[in-house]
Amino acid sequence: MAPPQYRTIWLSDIHLGTPQAKAAYLLDFLGRHDADRYYLVGDIIDGWALKRSWYWPTSHNEVIQGLLRKAEDTNVTYIPGNHDEVARDFPGLQLGGITIQRKTQHTTADGREFLVVHGDEFEGVVRHSKWLEFLGSWAYSSVLTADHWFDRVRRLLNLPYWSLANYLKETHRIRQLIEEFEEATAREANDDGFDGVICGHIHRPRMRTLNDIQYINTGDWVQSCTALMEHRDGRLELRRWIPDGEGMQDAIAAEAPLHPERVPPLDPEEKAELKAM
């Protein structure tokens, strides 16, 4: 049996319980990608939306079942966000093999230490944090609803997937506020002694270095359809995944391959796994 393709996969902001969640896209991704460890970085289930009106199709059950199947043979850590914040009251609890943590840290194969957190915790340190509340507001929900119907029309016309919400985020003011969030998040990680931070929350997949701190946002499965993957040598890659025939599958950002002499050795657990194969 071949080892998993990736050492680690991060997923966030799936928003199950809303019509906008791209459950079919995520199911296709989960069926084609394997890893030793998974992190679910918040807003997996949208409790806010479910309180307003119940929406839970079969495909959303299938996503939960798919994640539970991953947890049977791998380590899965769930870090609740603000839309599924009720789970924050149960740190350390295991559900079907998935461990809940408020935040955690991850060490890459090449030795870097990353803070892993949803991201809404940093709203208070952003100078203009009111814009972040927009992500959970009725106005933003209306944009996502329009996005959903716009996508359906494009499908009927055999046009590829395109996100209205992502387009609106490209306005100058929104870009400026997103950068403020990224800078504040990186500062917090630096103050805590980390090499970088991995978060979600703002539905904006991004990989950048800020004053020697690596900032990575995993994106979402509402508009961007992105995941963060760690290769066996510790390289990190942000990848968009839209099923064949629906749109693009591409690397949004990726670290350069390590020089052969710099590839870290296998740790004892990995060596034991290879011997057992």
Domain count, the chain: 1
| Nearest-angstrom CA–CA distance, 120 and 74 | 27
In a domain, 31, yes or no: yes
Written in H, E and C, the secondary structure of 61-114 is HHHHHHHHHHHHHCEEEECCCCCCHHHHHCCCCEECCEEECCCEEEECCCCCEE
pLDDT of residue 260: 42
Which residues on adjacent β-strands are paired with residue 251? 239
1 occurs within a structural domain = no
Question: Average pLDDT of 244-260?
Answer: 67
Would residue 230 count as lying in a domain? yes
In a domain, 263, yes or no: yes
Question: Would you state the pLDDT for residue 251?
Answer: 83
Give the integer Cα–Cα distance in Å for 199 and 158: 34
| pLDDT above 70 for 120 | yes
Summary mean pLDDT of the chain: 82
pLDDT higher than threshold 80 for residue 3: no
pLDDT digit string (tens) for 78-108?
Answer: 999 999 999 999 999 999 999 999 999 999 9
Looking up residue 159, the CATH number of its domain turns out to be 3.60.21.10
**Assigned domain for 74 exists:** yes
The domain of 125 spans 6-276
Higher pLDDT, 129 or 95: 95
- Residue 235 gets which letter from DSSP? -
pLDDT at residue 219, rounded to an integer: 94
- pTM, rounded to two decimals: 0.79
The CB-side HSE value for 177 (13 A sphere, CA atoms) comes to: 18
The pLDDT confidence band at residue 158, using thresholds 50, 70 and 90, is low
b/e string for 31-49 if b means 16 or more Cβ within 10 A?
Answer: eebbbbbbbbbbbbbbbbb
State yes or no: pLDDT of 25 exceeds 70: yes
The reply to whether 80 falls in a domain is yes
Is position 201 within any domain?
yes
